Amino acid sequence: MSNRRLVLAAFATAIVLAACGSEPEPEMAPEPTGPTAEELERMRQDSIRRAQEAEEARLRAEREAAERERQRRAEMSRQTLRETVYFDYDEAAIRSDTETRLRAKLDILRANPGVQLRMEGHADERGTSEYNIALGNERSEAVIQFLTGFGLDAGRFSSVSYGEERPAAQGSNESAWAQNRRVEFVITAGGDGIGR
Amino acid sequence: MMKHRIAVLALTALTGLPLVAAEPAAAQEEAAIPGVQLGLAYENLYIPPLAILPFTGPDADAALVSGVQGIVARDLDYSDRFVVLDSLPEGLADDGIRYSLWDQYGADWVLMGEVETVAGRHFLSIELHDIVFTSVERGRFALPARDDEDFRMAVHRVSDEIVEWVTGEPGIAASRIVFSMRPFGNPTAKELYIVDSDGENLQRLTWDENLAISPAWAPDGNRIAYVSYKTGLPGIYELSLADGSERPVDTGRGGQHMTPAYHPDGDELAFNILGAGLFRYDLGDNCCLVQLVGGRAENLQPSYSHDGDELVFLSNRLGEATPQIYTMPARGGNADLLSPYRFGQGGYFADPDWSPISSKVAFAGGIVRRRVLNRYHIFVADTEVGDNRLRQLTQEGSNEDPSWGPDGRHIVFVGERSNGLGVFIVDSGTGRTRLLVASVEAADTDWSPALGPRT
């Protein structure tokens, strides 16, 4: 508002001066009006506040971006923790692809000591149903043993075996069986605190 | 095999030829399971013909009379103790029992029955004539009302009485089979179901919409212990059949409790805690968890011997891929391998069940060939004979979860056939197999003891 006033005042003066040269002075030109002292002080305060607000918004955006990034990384970590691992027929031995996945989990578990996991062991439909529950348990125990072998506290892990009762894939073929010989992971504690 | 080797030795002695030359031929004669003779070695049993005369019932409802006769006739057929003759020629029984006539007809036994209705109460009177020894056995049995849920069971008990008169051994008619099965419409759940020994009266026992597996009958026939995942972790529960009530068996130890089995005295339960071994627990006193088998291997599926002194169980101490069957003293001690095993040849044997009256153990399994075996058969081994000889009771499909009937002769199991899954009963005496429940994906079959009247 005060800027516009200055411009208006200057404009009015220019008109008056231009008029002087061509015609006799018709009337009194309006008194030029500059900002008062109060107005100047207010303007100064306004500009300080605007700068502060801009800085705060910038910081807020940065914090939000950092939080989004943390959330994204935490979600990635949770996905890595939840990633299913697979086993060979009638085996509870850790395969190399399973070891790769377990090592990825290991790093996250080390960095986040509050995280606890439940291992859910499964078997394919071949074999007798009750022995398959024992086999599923051996698979989750093998996973727990792998992780505690790197110094993780065994108290952070629990296990339950479903044997062949909860197949991930239907069908009586090698492709379905391979998907069903597995250990699934459920985060039972500390999932929200990952990366904090 | 042994005779063959003696012959080779004799030949060697006579001719002086080196023994090694004969060895490969001898080795080739090894049966599919090393050191074990397989095949259907059924005893050459004489099965006596039994004629059933049409039951009478002058003052009873005709449908009731023929219904009772139908139940008894089928029970006696299913007992596999008789050749049942129940489509008799006209006039054969018109004039009382003439033993010489029946002898000529070829019947060793003649059964007569009469249903009486006195003041609204039913009675079944039975006469069993022994044609060979010209003697007769008689009995009169009260039957509940026809719409009473114990009606069929009461008739079954009469059938078992007849079997016991003839053989001196218990029958299987008055018994039930419990098993686990996916309920209709819920492919992730398993519930317990119960069915009469003749395939009638299929009923659902649990309604948790969770996993209910591994049922085991108590010796009193009134309770079933089983495993449920309803709390998230598998635990043992005891279900009362009298009132449907249930209690968790809290052994005071954490872990996943599996595969319970009752001691013949009914107060002790043996079971597995996954990864920890075999345990027993006193149900009567609710105390005293005792570890029977420990170690790193999985040890599960215990089953007590008929006298309660021994246990048979599954262990994978020889490797995950070769579960085997072992016996041991019920109070703990050394385990002996019962299933056939030779190093390097593997084998997969599971689901052991000790006969309720003898030293025989039934189990399922087979030799793993190139690790693709998914076909199991039902075998019977005798723990006392100890000659490592197995009898194979099934020949087709794949078969699991054998459980002995109260006669120690019939075995119920889950069979997979080209036309689907089902629950079957095989007679270990004759090899005769019948379908008990068709087209069900059942598991964990367990046969009850002989069931007395409801109390």
Is the residue at A171 inside a domain? yes
Looking at the structure, do residues A109 and A175 belong to the same domain, yes or no?
yes
Using a CB–CB cut-off of 8 Å, the residues of A that contact B are: 89-92, 126-131, 133-135, 137-138, 141, 159-162, 165-166
Looking at the structure, do residues A17 and A96 belong to the same domain, yes or no?
no
Looking at the structure, do residues A88 and A179 belong to the same domain, yes or no?
yes
Is the residue at A73 inside a domain? no
CATH of residue A120: 3.30.1330.60
Is the residue at A134 inside a domain? yes
* Among the ranges given (A68-72, B56-60, B94-98, B106-110), the one the predictor scored with the smallest mean pLDDT: B94-98
C-beta of residue B429 within 8 angstroms of C-beta of residue B201: no
According to the model, what pLDDT value does residue B58 have? 85
Q: Say if strands B203-204 and B191-196 run parallel, antiparallel, or are unpaired.
A: antiparallel
Looking at the structure, do residues A86 and A132 belong to the same domain, yes or no?
yes
Tokens of B143: 């039957």
Nearest chain B CA: its distance from A85 CA (Å): 18
Looking at the structure, do residues A32 and A87 belong to the same domain, yes or no?
no
Looking at the structure, do residues A162 and A182 belong to the same domain, yes or no?
yes
Is the residue at A168 inside a domain? yes
Q: Which domains does chain B have, with CATH numbers?
A: 49-167 (3.40.50.10070), 176-225+296-447 (2.120.10.30), 226-295 (no CATH)
Among the partner-chain residues A138, A159, A161, the one whose CB lies closest to the CB of B320 is A138
Provide the residue type at A129 as one letter: S
Looking at the structure, do residues A90 and A173 belong to the same domain, yes or no?
yes
Tell me whether residues A128 and B233 touch, CB distance under 8 A: no
Nearest chain A CA: its distance from B367 CA (Å): 12
Span B115-150, pLDDT tens digits: 998 888 899 999 999 999 999 999 999 999 888 889
Among the partner-chain residues A91, A92, A130, the one whose CB lies closest to the CB of B214 is A130
Average pLDDT of the segment spanning B50-63:
89
Average pLDDT of the segment spanning B47-58:
91
C-beta of residue B192 within 8 angstroms of C-beta of residue B180: yes
Of B258 and B431, the one with more pLDDT: B258
Which residues in A lie closer than 8 A to residue B229 (C-beta atoms)? Answer: 160, 162
According to the model, what pLDDT value does residue B17 have? 34
Q: What is the number of domains present in chain A?
A: 2
According to the model, what pLDDT value does residue B434 have? 93
Whether the predicted pLDDT of B246 surpasses 90 = yes
Model ipTM value: 0.85
Q: Say if strands A116-122 and A157-163 run parallel, antiparallel, or are unpaired.
A: parallel
Tell me whether residues B320 and A89 touch, CB distance under 8 A: no
Domain boundary among A17, A35, A68: A68
Is the residue at A122 inside a domain? yes
Q: Residue A171 is part of which domain span? A: 80-189
According to DSSP, the residues that pair with B310 across neighbouring strands are B329
Nearest chain B CA: its distance from A114 CA (Å): 22
Tell me whether residues A129 and B211 touch, CB distance under 8 A: no
What's the rounded Cα separation, in Å, for the pair B130 and B136? 6
Span B275-330, pLDDT tens digits: 999 999 999 898 999 999 998 899 999 999 999 999 999 999 998 888 999 999 99
What's the rounded Cα separation, in Å, for the pair B230 and B236? 10
Is the residue at A196 inside a domain? no
According to the model, what pLDDT value does residue B25 have? 35
Looking at the structure, do residues A185 and A106 belong to the same domain, yes or no?
yes
Span B68-118, pLDDT tens digits: 999 999 999 999 999 998 877 766 666 678 888 888 888 999 999 999 988
C-beta of residue B223 within 8 angstroms of C-beta of residue B243: no
Whether the predicted pLDDT of B62 surpasses 70 = yes
Is the residue at A30 inside a domain? yes
Pick from A94, A122, A133 the residue to mutate for testing the B interface (most B CBs within 10 Å). Answer: A133
Looking at the structure, do residues A104 and A148 belong to the same domain, yes or no?
yes
Helix (H, G, I), strand (E, B) or coil at B244: coil
Tell me whether residues B272 and A91 touch, CB distance under 8 A: no
Tokens of A86: 């697979």
Pick from A125, A131, A174 the residue to mutate for testing the B interface (most B CBs within 10 Å). Answer: A131
* B399: closest chain A residue by CA: A128
Domain boundary among A29, A44, A68: A68
* Among the ranges given (A6-20, A86-100, B173-187, B373-387), the one the predictor scored with the smallest mean pLDDT: A6-20
Using a CB–CB cut-off of 8 Å, the residues of B that contact A are: 188, 190, 211, 213-214, 229, 232-234, 256, 258-259, 272, 274-275, 298, 300-301, 314, 316, 320-321, 323, 348, 350-351, 364, 371, 373-374, 376, 400-401, 443-444
Span B340-365, pLDDT tens digits: 877 777 789 999 999 999 999 999 99
Span B393-407, pLDDT tens digits: 998 889 999 999 999
Which residues in A lie closer than 8 A to residue B232 (C-beta atoms)? Answer: 160
Looking at the structure, do residues A85 and A62 belong to the same domain, yes or no?
no
Among the partner-chain residues B213, B350, B371, the one whose CB lies closest to the CB of A131 is B350
Looking at the structure, do residues A50 and A90 belong to the same domain, yes or no?
no
Contacts of residue B432, Cβ cutoff 8 Å, sequence gap at least 6:
B80, B426
- Cβ contacts from A onto B, under 8 A: 78
Average pLDDT of the segment spanning B14-22:
34
Whether the predicted pLDDT of B37 surpasses 60 = no
Is the residue at A194 inside a domain? no
Looking at the structure, do residues A134 and A180 belong to the same domain, yes or no?
yes
Contacts of residue A45, Cβ cutoff 8 Å, sequence gap at least 6:
none
Nearest chain A CA: its distance from B443 CA (Å): 7
Tell me whether residues A131 and B371 touch, CB distance under 8 A: no
Average pLDDT of the segment spanning B3-18:
35
